[in-house]
Structure formats: structure tokens, C-alpha cells
Structure 1
Amino acid sequence: MKLHFYGKIAAAVLVAAVGAGIFYYQVSQAKEPDQEVWGIADAKESMVHSKVSGRVVHLYVKEGDFVEKGQLLAKIDQDVQNTDRLQAEASIRAQYAQLQQTIIQANTDRQTLESSVSTAQAALDQAGTSLALAQKDENRYAYLLSQGAISNQRYDDAKAARDNAQAAYDAAGAQLESAKAGLLKNQANDQLIDAAKEQMEVLKGKLDAVAINENETEIRAPFSGMITKKYVEEGTIISPDISLFSLQDQKDNWVRFKVRETDLPLYHVGQEIHMTGRDKKLSITGHIESINQKPDYAVIRATNERGDRDITAFDVKVRTNNDQVWPGMRFYMKKE
């Protein structure tokens, strides 16, 4: 019985010793800086959208395909664009016809008004000649009257003729001014022509936009990479806010590490970093691209047993651009 009792006491002591050893080992490890810092890989990935609405008529790629920049990924029907083209072309034809009509009308009005000006100018010139002759006769008769060579009646007739010639001259002058004013007002037709030409350019711009939209019905890869997700099927009606594919650039990647604040002095932007994958077979090299100055608080919580403070960590981004690095992979770097 005593032997059995002492055996139990020995077993209890052994368990307590092992537990204490584990506890003190964990505490000592928690206070020591980690020799390995783990991070997770990520890569540039973009959603591919269509800039126009329509029905997907062809899909040329599937998930897992590698595509080159500019490669055709999908084709959208051109029903909307065809309708827009027909409407734009019809509007251009109608506007062109209106422009030609405005030009013809303006030219006709101009010719008529220019002819009126010419006629009025000729009439004024003739009236001026008649006035000059009538003035000359009046002057001659006035001299003869002063010499007593003619009667007052004869002079009055000459003066009346000169007054009539003056009135005719004034009327011809007024007619010429009126004709010139009409010609100036015809400039409004020129403004109509200019406005019609501007409208024509606007319609041509709309037709050019239709041509651009026709090109947009061919969805092409914005950069080289892998199709990681396909969101639509042939026959799907889409709009610009619907994603067609997810495209990942396999040569634009990085690894993000959470580095303790106490270890930050060991790292700086531009520093070369050697990393190893979880399988310990993949080893790559990168350079620190950025260190985020906004920390993740309390990444490692303090404990009553340790009696220390919470430890914050900062995001360190290591640029790799290695096609062997896939998003989600885990890597660790050893601190020098």
C-alpha cells in the first residue's frame, strides 16, 4: 500500500514538473523575438467589364487559360450599335440635305439682293446725272433772269425741274441704302449655314462614337495574365457594371508580412528579402516595396501570466513579381 501511495505522489510530481517546464518554455518563447516571420502572397487581379450593354454571343476563354494583352476574350452582339449607326447615318443625311437647302436659299437671296444693290446703284448714278443737268439749267436760267433775258416763269420751270431731279436722286439713294441693308441682313443666312455645319459635325461625332462602341463589343484582355474566374455564359445579357472575367497578372505579385513593432528596425524600403515557401522547396527573393505606418493593434495579446503589454505589428509589402508566386501561398522570411 505504501509503495502504491508513493508511486502516485511521484507521478503527480512528474506531471507538475512537465507542466511547469512547458509553461516556462512558452513564456520564454513569447518574450523572445520570432526567428521566422510568415506572410501571405497576393497578386494584381482585375475585373474585366464590357463598356457597352448587350448579349454575350461568344466566349473565347475559360478559367485557367493564360491570355496575352489585347487577346480577344468575348464578343457582344452589335444590335444596339447597328441601330445607333442607322439612326446616326439617317440624321447625317437629313442634316446634309438641310444644309444644302440653306446654302441654296442663302445663295439665291444673296444674288437677288446683290442684283437689287446693283440696280439701285445704277438708278442713283442716273439720278445723279439728271440732277447735275437740272442744277446746271437752273444756274443758267438764274443768270438769264438776272439779265432780264427770260421771264420769271421760265426760271421757275427750271428750278422745279432741278427740285424734281433732287427728289429723284434722294429717292434713289434711299433705295440703294435699303438694298444694302437687305444684303447685310442676309448674313443671318450665313449664320444658319454655320449652325447647320456645326450640327453636321456633332452628328459625325455621334457616328464616330457608334464606331467606337462597335469596337467595344470585342472584349480584350487589358494585360497578360490568367483567367481566374468566369462570371457569365454565352447568351447572358450584360451591362457595363457586370463583370465578365477576373484576370490575374502572374508577374505582378507580392508577399505581405506582419512584422512586430519591436522588429521594425530590422527592415527598410528597398531591402532584399529571402523567402521560403511552406513546402521549404520554393525559395524566392524580393525587395521591400513599402512599410505601412498604420499598425494592426494587439496582434499578440498580453497575458496575465506574462505580465507584458500587447504587441502591435506593421504591414511590410515585399515585391516579388515571380510567376511561381500564387495568391494565398504562405512564405516565411528569416530575420538576419
Structure 2
Amino acid sequence: MFVQKRQISWLRAAVLGLAAVLVFSLAGCVAGGPAQADKQTYSGLVNATEVDVNTKIPGRVIKLAVKEGGTVKNGQLLAEIDPADLLNQKKAAQAQLDAAAAAMQKAGAGLQAAAAGGEKAQAAADVTRGTAGATLAKAQAGLAKAQDDAALAKKVYQRIDTLHRQGAVPEQQYDEAKNKLDAANAAVQAAEDDVAAARAGLGQVDVYQAGVAEASAAKAASQADINAARAAYNQAQAQLQEIEANLAQTKVVAPVSGVITSRNVEAGEVAAAGASLFTLTENGHNWVDVKVPETALGKIKLHQKVTVTGDAFPGRRFTGEVTAINKKGDFATYRATNDRGDKDIIAFDVRVELDDPAWWPGMTAEVAF
């Protein structure tokens, strides 16, 4: 619901004509007895602030809580718009919000799992790199020693073999040299196998590093899923908030205290967005607009207290306050003629605040300055 304020202008043309007639007929006359013999009285019409109570949302009016002429308080329920469509929209928006929240939670779990897998693979790679490196170094050292031993055993065997051919060494010594050479060569082969195994162990580091890269890609994908789910969640949340705000607008309430001066809709009718459902006149905020001739303006000051009377309140006097004096003349209350040779007398608008709920818009009031 939103409201539009405006000032009531009651029969402005009639005011102008009435003021033109009354300015000189009433100027200087007594208003209420000898105590006001030095005052001048002018007529005017009472005005007040009107508020158009509009509906922000379209829909069918299912309830009217007030009638024309009824007095209402600020915040009082005036009408209700059918909320059925909005309630269905709210249900759908809530479902979208819940789905987005679940997707965000699932993506978050995927991100945590990918992060844990990446950390595990990295730790394994680090450990393997350290142990396999040490193993390879040891195997390479062992291979170097085995090769040195095999080279020495070969030299010894060659020397013994030469002597054995010459018959200079017994058969047993020859066999021992031959066995040592065979053993040394076998040790070299075993050391080479150890080096190959150590190199294979280092290759496992690459496997683990591939696992780290795979986990990193999974983390990026999960983060993208989280971002998409969060965007969907925020969108659904904003939509839900808008629907809830519109649901609040289905209850049309009085923006100010006052009187319902016009009801512009009936129950069952479909109101368009922005349509005026009611016209509400504020209680207690009213004033009199009077036309004062320039010859009397010198006696009128801003914030001056004045006496206000009216035919609607015989014998009663009200106190008003001058709150505005228009600096631009409106029309001539008296026209000069060639015969008289005098000047026009221009009228100026003077506003007198009443702020009294007893006065209704359109009433005629007499203001004594």
C-alpha cells in the first residue's frame, strides 16, 4: 500500500467570487461584539489534507473493513487483497531456496572431500619422495661397491686362471677364485635390481602428484558448484523477500488517522496496482484560506493569533494562527473606474491554521484579523 497526499480545494471559483463580495461588505464590521470593533473580518473555506490510499499490488479485494464517513486510526485495517497467488509464489520460492541450500551444502561437502584427498596425496608424495630418494641413493652406493668387488674378483680370477693353466696352483684354489667371481657378478646383478626398484619407487611420486592435480581440479569444480548454488540461493532469497513484502501489502491499512471520505472499490472487484481504494481526510489538520485585500495586509503578521467563527457553530469562537501570506496578489477585489479615478485593490491569499477536527472541509469560516 502507498499513499498520495493532496490538499482539498473546495469550489475555488466560488471562494474567489464570495471573497470579492465580502471583502468590502465585511471590512471594518464588528464580529462578536464591541471587543472586536477594531478588527476586520473576511470569509473563507475550510480545507484539509486528503490522502489517497492506494494498493501497491494487484488483486481481488476480498474484504472491506470500513465504510464511507467512518473514522479510522493510523494503522487500522481498511481492506484485504486476496493473498492466494502470492502464497503459491512463496511456496515455490521457498522450494527453490531449499534446493539451492541443499546444492550449496552438497558442493561444500565435495569441496571438503577434494581438499582432503589432495592433502592425502600430497603427503604421500612427500613421504615417497623422501624414502624413495634415500633408497635409491643406498642402492646406487651398493651397486658401486658390488661393481668394485666384481672388478677385483675378476682380476684375482684371471691371475689364478693363468697360474692354474700353468699348473702352478691347485684345483681347489682355482675353484675358490671362480666362485668368488660368480658371487661378485651376482651381487652386481642384485644391486642393479635394487637401483631399478628404487627408481620405480620414485615414479610412484608422480602418481601421487597426479592425484594432487586431480584433487585440485575437483576442488575448483566444487567451488564453481558452490558459487552457482550460492547465486541461486541469493536469487531465491531475494524473490522470497519480495513476495513476503507483497504479502504484507495485501492488508491495506490507514496511513494516518482521519475520516474515510471516499471508498472507491467494492468487495470482489479486482484492483490494479496503484489503484486508489480510499480517500482519507486527516483528522485535526485543517485550515482556512481567505482572500485579504492589500489595504488590510499591514495588520496581518505570520504566527498572529486570530478569531474564527462560523455558521456551523453559533456562539462559539475558535483560535487560529496565520501560517502563510502569499506574496503574490491573486485578483482585484475592487476595480478602479474612470469616473472615480482611483486604483485597483488586489487580494492576497492568507492561510489560517485551525487544526481542529470540529471543522470539516468545505465549511465557511469567518476570520477576524
TM-score range, shorter chain: 0.7 to 0.9
Whole-angstrom CA distance in 2 between matches of 1:309 and 1:162: 129
Equivalent AA in structure 2 for residue 38 of structure 1:
S
Please state if 1:52 is matched with 2:49.
no
Equivalent AA in structure 1 for residue 293 of structure 2:
R
Whole-angstrom CA distance in 2 between matches of 1:233 and 1:176: 76
Cα pair 2:58 2:271 within 8 Å, conserved: yes
The verdict on how the C-alpha distance between 1:259 and 1:167 changes in structure 2, with shifts beyond 3 A counting, is: farther
The verdict on how the C-alpha distance between 1:226 and 1:164 changes in structure 2, with shifts beyond 3 A counting, is: same
Once the two structures are overlaid, the 10-residue window that deviates more, 85-94 or 187-196, is 187-196
Cα pair 1:254 1:320 within 8 Å, conserved: yes
**Which residue matches 2:80?**
75
1:195 deviation in Å?
4.1
Please state if 1:313 is matched with 2:347.
yes
1:98 deviation in Å?
2.5
CA offsets per residue over residues 129-157 of structure 1, 9 Å max, x none?
A: 22331454477679x69xx8588999x98
CA offsets per residue over residues 216-261 of structure 1, 9 Å max, x none?
A: 2111111111111111111110023211111111211111122233
**Which residue matches 1:277?**
310
The verdict on how the C-alpha distance between 1:139 and 1:73 changes in structure 2, with shifts beyond 3 A counting, is: same
Count of residues in Structure 1 that have an aligned counterpart in Structure 2: 305
Cα pair 2:323 2:352 within 8 Å, conserved: yes
Whole-angstrom CA distance in 1 between matches of 2:291 and 2:254: 34
Q: 1:286 aligns with which of 320, 323, 330?
A: 320
Equivalent AA in structure 2 for residue 219 of structure 1:
V
Aligned residue for 2:240, secondary structure, equals: helix
1:180 deviation in Å?
3.8
**Which residue matches 1:86?**
91
The verdict on how the C-alpha distance between 1:262 and 1:132 changes in structure 2, with shifts beyond 3 A counting, is: farther
Aligned residue for 1:119, secondary structure, equals: helix
Please state if 1:116 is matched with 2:121.
yes
The verdict on how the C-alpha distance between 1:314 and 1:131 changes in structure 2, with shifts beyond 3 A counting, is: farther
Structure 2 runs not aligned, ≥5 long: 1-20, 30-39, 156-183
Q: TM-score, normalised by structure 2?
A: 0.69
The verdict on how the C-alpha distance between 1:269 and 1:172 changes in structure 2, with shifts beyond 3 A counting, is: farther
**Which residue matches 2:282?**
249
CA offsets per residue over residues 85-104 of structure 1, 9 Å max, x none?
A: 12212212332343243234
Q: 5 Å matches for 1:1-336?
A: 35-134=40-139, 136-137=141-142, 171=203, 174-175=206-207, 177-185=209-217, 186-278=219-311, 281-335=315-369
**Which residue matches 1:7?**
none
The verdict on how the C-alpha distance between 1:150 and 1:321 changes in structure 2, with shifts beyond 3 A counting, is: farther
**Which residue matches 2:172?**
none
Whole-angstrom CA distance in 2 between matches of 1:84 and 1:166: 67
1:118 deviation in Å?
3.5
1:78 deviation in Å?
1.1
The verdict on how the C-alpha distance between 1:150 and 1:191 changes in structure 2, with shifts beyond 3 A counting, is: farther
Cα pair 1:261 1:312 within 8 Å, conserved: yes
**Percentage of pairs with the same residue:** 31
Q: Which has the higher Rg, Structure 1 or Structure 2? A: 2
Once the two structures are overlaid, the 10-residue window that deviates more, 48-57 or 91-100, is 91-100
The verdict on how the C-alpha distance between 1:81 and 1:33 changes in structure 2, with shifts beyond 3 A counting, is: same
Whole-angstrom CA distance in 2 between matches of 1:199 and 1:73: 37
Cα pair 2:133 2:202 within 8 Å, conserved: no
Whole-angstrom CA distance in 2 between matches of 1:99 and 1:46: 47
Whole-angstrom CA distance in 2 between matches of 1:237 and 1:70: 23
Cα pair 2:60 2:268 within 8 Å, conserved: yes
The verdict on how the C-alpha distance between 1:263 and 1:161 changes in structure 2, with shifts beyond 3 A counting, is: farther
Whole-angstrom CA distance in 2 between matches of 1:191 and 1:235: 50
Structure 1 runs not aligned, ≥5 long: 1-25
Aligned residue for 1:44, secondary structure, equals: strand
Equivalent AA in structure 1 for residue 277 of structure 2:
L
Superposed CA RMSD: 3.6
Whole-angstrom CA distance in 2 between matches of 1:299 and 1:195: 74
Whole-angstrom CA distance in 2 between matches of 1:189 and 1:297: 78
Q: TM-score, normalised by structure 1?
A: 0.75
Equivalent AA in structure 2 for residue 330 of structure 1:
T
